[in-house]
């Protein structure tokens, strides 16, 4: 079946619809205000750092895990999106699960950690 539908919705401009107009800022020029989206300077900076540095955060996490002989032997994977890290894989104990999370949280730029590591029993 070969059909395409193009949206053709228009919104009429009625006589009672006000047209928004920009209002002058009481605090000066937009350059002096910092973020214009209503975010605080700190949260805007965090968002910018997280968005730009996900690859760097990922590399730092991998390096930290590789540098620890115990953690490097584990079957782990990490995903970093916007500074938020998701851990997946399996570990042998609650202590190892906690140790991995602590190592990841210590990496600069990590905003939060979703620890989905599963604790498995060793097979005899």
pLDDT per residue over 19-35, tens digit each? 555 555 555 444 544 44
Which of the given ranges, 5-14, 42-51, 62-71, has the highest pLDDT on average? 62-71
Q: What is the mean pLDDT of the chain?
A: 76
Distances (CA, A) of 31 to 25, 28, 34, 37, 66: 11, 8, 6, 13, 43
CATH number reported for the structural domain that contains residue 106 in this entry: 3.30.1340.30
Asked if residue 21 belongs to a domain, the reply is no
What's the average model confidence in pLDDT over 62-89? 95
Query: What is the predicted pLDDT for the residue at 116?
Result: 97
Residue of 104, 108, 111 whose CA lies nearest to 87:
104
**Count of domains observed in the chain:** 1
Query: Residue 18 falls within a domain, yes or no?
Result: no
Q: Is residue 64 part of a domain?
A: yes
Task: Give the other-Cβ count within 10 Å of 88's Cβ.
Answer: 14
Q: Is residue 31 part of a domain?
A: no
Range of 120's domain?
54-124
Q: Is residue 47 part of a domain?
A: no
Range 96-119 average pLDDT? 96
Q: Are 111 and 84 in contact (CB under 8 A)?
A: yes
- Does a structural domain hold residue 85? yes
Average pLDDT for residues 54-70, to the nearest whole number?
95
The tokens for 120 are 């498995």
The reported pLDDT for the residue numbered 50 is: 42
């Amino acid at each position: 079946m070969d059909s395409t539908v193009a949206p053709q919705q228009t919104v009429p401009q009625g006589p009672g619809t006000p047209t928004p107009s920009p209002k002058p800022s009481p605090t000066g020029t937009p350059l002096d205000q910092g973020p214009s989206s209503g975010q605080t300077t700190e949260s805007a900076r965090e968002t910018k750092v997280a968005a730009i540095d996900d690859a760097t955060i990922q590399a730092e996490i991998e390096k930290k895990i590789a540098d620890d002989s115990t953690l490097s032997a584990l079957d782990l994977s990490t995903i970093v999106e916007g500074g938020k890290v998701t851990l997946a894989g399996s570990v042998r104990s609650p202590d190892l699960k906690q140790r991995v999370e602590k190592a990841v949280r210590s990496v600069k730029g990590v905003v939060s950690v979703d620890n989905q590591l599963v604790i498995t029993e060793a097979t005899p």
